[in-house]
Chain A
């Protein structure tokens, strides 16, 4: 399959000659919408609406042939939890198929397979040479019986280059209190939730019917991870944690509403096997730049946590909900973007009564597989206006990211179901 893809590419690249290779795929026909799909972008970039699905579009994946698969949080009225979209020459796409009667979040294309997750299981579908799913009604159920207690239930997935799949099993709790989210309730000793959730589990990508017994708890102390991706340069899994909520609500005598809005940071972690990021025993304070002991476990906002826990790789504004992470390997965007990370922030709710924040795509530069340099907002105004963002009433909530074969960046969102494509259009 790889060969048949490479040959026409070489041939056409030769014909394209000095035009540069991405120009061949996209430049002549794919055009940004006049208003850049309502987004605020950096100079040289443009955006178009690829499709309006009208569904809660969670994660997305694109085959080498350019077929776009969209995982829906809940199936359509006629029972389709995954949509297939195909774009015409201008980049506008239509829904060409659907299957999988289950809601969920995870969606990845890797080495000839489409992987999809419900809130309990992970499935995989075989892709043919045209990027079409060959077994829409009979996927392999590779992972099953994961805990789902209707909080942090999404099972986001990523694959490495050695045949392993990594699955987020979010903690069904905010901070492992005896009574979840209850004012003043203290933390459960040793937090038993961590036995079956609050971490990343590793399984084989090609083995059917695996559950906890067949997998490994790869990393623990992670409250909930929605965005994660494999970094091929450092050969490491990077994850974006959703930090804990409600410091003020639960411990009003220790935190005021302003502190509660800025604490804790949303953290990126670089994971190695056995890593422990410390939830629920700590949170990361981006103002003090310290790992702070959680108030549920005796903290007072100042006492530091046991230093044995993993240090975050980067800290982002509190409660902004990073829902997708993508390492960019394309050549369409300028050099500085290569191997760096795009992060889709779904946007906050737990900053109230302070203004809400997020609803944007961030670019985080990387060098040699490690974060390097200051992050910046790459695409903004998914909310529709600053007032919408502040009020927490965004028009769109970015949730998924995928890289097209030509190096375009695709974005999905689960409020209106819009699919965007961001292109670089400067010479």
Chain B
């Protein structure tokens, strides 16, 4: 049920199932440098762990998990905007969560790119990196 939702909502994930070798799929499965993951993990520990927990499993009914959610694996602009603006009152994979995600806009573009790359490649996720340029573009569009 959960997996179905993710498949339906996330083109990146769905592509992995198709035999065609799209460029997006290649990016999604190339290894991410260990140094980037390490930096991302450090930001995660500082800024995200207390709510989403060390294993990214979240807290029932309060803080959503970060494993295989359509937000994490889906559209990167939307994902970057979660960090820039925070989030409240949105169902995640069909579940409501009764806490507030505060804006993380005190993080630098580099820190956001690192932590999102880490999240997209941890907790059972495997997805393309988020680049500093992508974060910069979304932050710029917001201003």
Interface, chain A (partner B; CB < 8 A): 56, 73, 150-153, 174, 179-184, 246, 248-249, 260, 349-350, 352-353, 391-393, 397, 415
Q: Do residues A397 and B60 form an inter-chain contact, with CB atoms below 8 A?
A: yes
Known: A150-B89, A352-B54, A353-B54. A392 touches B106 (CB 8 A): no
Interchain nearest-CB distance for A346 vs B (Å): 10
Asked if B103 is an interface residue, CB under 8 A from chain A, the answer is yes
Q: Which of B41-63 contact A (CB under 8 A)?
A: 45, 47, 49-51, 53-55, 57, 59-63
Q: Give the interface centre of B49, B59, B106 by most chain A CB atoms within 10 Å.
A: B59
| Measured CA separation A151–B54 after assembly (Å) | 23
Q: Interface-forming stretch among B8-16, B17-25, B71-79, B94-102?
A: B94-102
Q: Do residues A180 and B100 form an inter-chain contact, with CB atoms below 8 A?
A: yes
Interface residues of A, dominant DSSP: loop
| Measured CA separation A335–B104 after assembly (Å) | 54
| Measured CA separation A397–B49 after assembly (Å) | 21
Q: Do residues A73 and B61 form an inter-chain contact, with CB atoms below 8 A?
A: yes
Q: Which 7 A-B pairs have the closest CB atoms?
A: A349-B59, A181-B102, A182-B102, A180-B100, A249-B50, A181-B100, A352-B50
Write out the residue numbers on chain A whose beta carbons fall within 8 Å of the beta carbon of B62.
349
Q: Do residues B50 and A246 form an inter-chain contact, with CB atoms below 8 A?
A: yes
Q: Do residues A150 and B49 form an inter-chain contact, with CB atoms below 8 A?
A: no
Asked if B30 is an interface residue, CB under 8 A from chain A, the answer is no
Asked if B88 is an interface residue, CB under 8 A from chain A, the answer is yes
Write out the residue numbers on chain B whose beta carbons fall within 8 Å of the beta carbon of A397.
60
Q: Do residues A248 and B102 form an inter-chain contact, with CB atoms below 8 A?
A: no
Closest to A415 in B: B60
Write out the residue numbers on chain B whose beta carbons fall within 8 Å of the beta carbon of A391.
55
Closest to B57 in A: A393
Interchain nearest-CB distance for B69 vs A (Å): 18
Known: A150-B88, A397-B60. A353 touches B49 (CB 8 A): yes
On chain B, the number of residues with a Cβ less than 8 Å from chain A's Cβ atoms is: 24
Write out the residue numbers on chain B whose beta carbons fall within 8 Å of the beta carbon of A249.
47, 50
Known: A73-B61, A397-B60, A415-B60. A352 touches B102 (CB 8 A): no
| Measured CA separation A260–B54 after assembly (Å) | 16
Q: Do residues A182 and B54 form an inter-chain contact, with CB atoms below 8 A?
A: no
Q: Which of B90-122 contact A (CB under 8 A)?
A: 96, 98-100, 102-103, 106
Known: A150-B88, A150-B89, A415-B60. A349 touches B100 (CB 8 A): no
Known: A151-B98, A248-B50, A353-B45. A182 touches B103 (CB 8 A): yes
Write out the residue numbers on chain A whose beta carbons fall within 8 Å of the beta carbon of B89.
150
| Measured CA separation A152–B103 after assembly (Å) | 20
Closest to B48 in A: A249
4 further contact pairs, Cβ within 8 A, besides A180-B100, A181-B100, A349-B63: A151-B100, A183-B106, A352-B53, A352-B54
Interchain nearest-CB distance for B50 vs A (Å): 5
Interchain nearest-CB distance for A197 vs B (Å): 14
Q: Do residues B45 and A183 form an inter-chain contact, with CB atoms below 8 A?
A: no
Q: Do residues A350 and B50 form an inter-chain contact, with CB atoms below 8 A?
A: yes
| Measured CA separation A246–B63 after assembly (Å) | 14
Closest to A249 in B: B50
Interchain nearest-CB distance for A398 vs B (Å): 13
Q: Do residues A183 and B102 form an inter-chain contact, with CB atoms below 8 A?
A: yes
Closest to B99 in A: A151
Write out the residue numbers on chain B whose beta carbons fall within 8 Å of the beta carbon of A183.
47, 102, 106
| Measured CA separation A210–B89 after assembly (Å) | 27
In the complex, 16 of the A-B residue pairs with CB atoms within 8 angstroms, ordered by the A residue number, are A150-B96, A151-B99, A182-B102, A183-B47, A183-B106, A246-B50, A248-B50, A349-B51, A349-B63, A350-B50, A352-B50, A352-B54, A353-B45, A353-B49, A353-B54, A392-B53
Option from B50, B57, B63, B102 in Cβ contact (under 8 Å) with A179: B102
Closest to A349 in B: B59
Write out the residue numbers on chain A whose beta carbons fall within 8 Å of the beta carbon of B86.
182
Write out the residue numbers on chain B whose beta carbons fall within 8 Å of the beta carbon of A352.
49-50, 53-54
Option from A56, A181, A260, A392 in Cβ contact (under 8 Å) with B59: A392
Interchain nearest-CB distance for A243 vs B (Å): 15
Write out the residue numbers on chain B whose beta carbons fall within 8 Å of the beta carbon of A415.
60
Closest to A119 in B: B98
| Measured CA separation A53–B99 after assembly (Å) | 26
Write out the residue numbers on chain B whose beta carbons fall within 8 Å of the beta carbon of A350.
50
Closest to A172 in B: B100
| Measured CA separation A179–B99 after assembly (Å) | 13
Q: Do residues A180 and B102 form an inter-chain contact, with CB atoms below 8 A?
A: yes
Q: Give the interface centre of B63, B88, B100 by most chain A CB atoms within 10 Å.
A: B100
| Measured CA separation A260–B106 after assembly (Å) | 21
Write out the residue numbers on chain B whose beta carbons fall within 8 Å of the beta carbon of A260.
50
Interchain nearest-CB distance for A2 vs B (Å): 40
Interchain nearest-CB distance for B98 vs A (Å): 5
Q: Do residues B103 and A179 form an inter-chain contact, with CB atoms below 8 A?
A: yes
Write out the residue numbers on chain A whose beta carbons fall within 8 Å of the beta carbon of B106.
183-184
Write out the residue numbers on chain A whose beta carbons fall within 8 Å of the beta carbon of B54.
352-353
Interchain nearest-CB distance for B59 vs A (Å): 4
Q: Do residues B53 and A153 form an inter-chain contact, with CB atoms below 8 A?
A: no
Interchain nearest-CB distance for A331 vs B (Å): 36
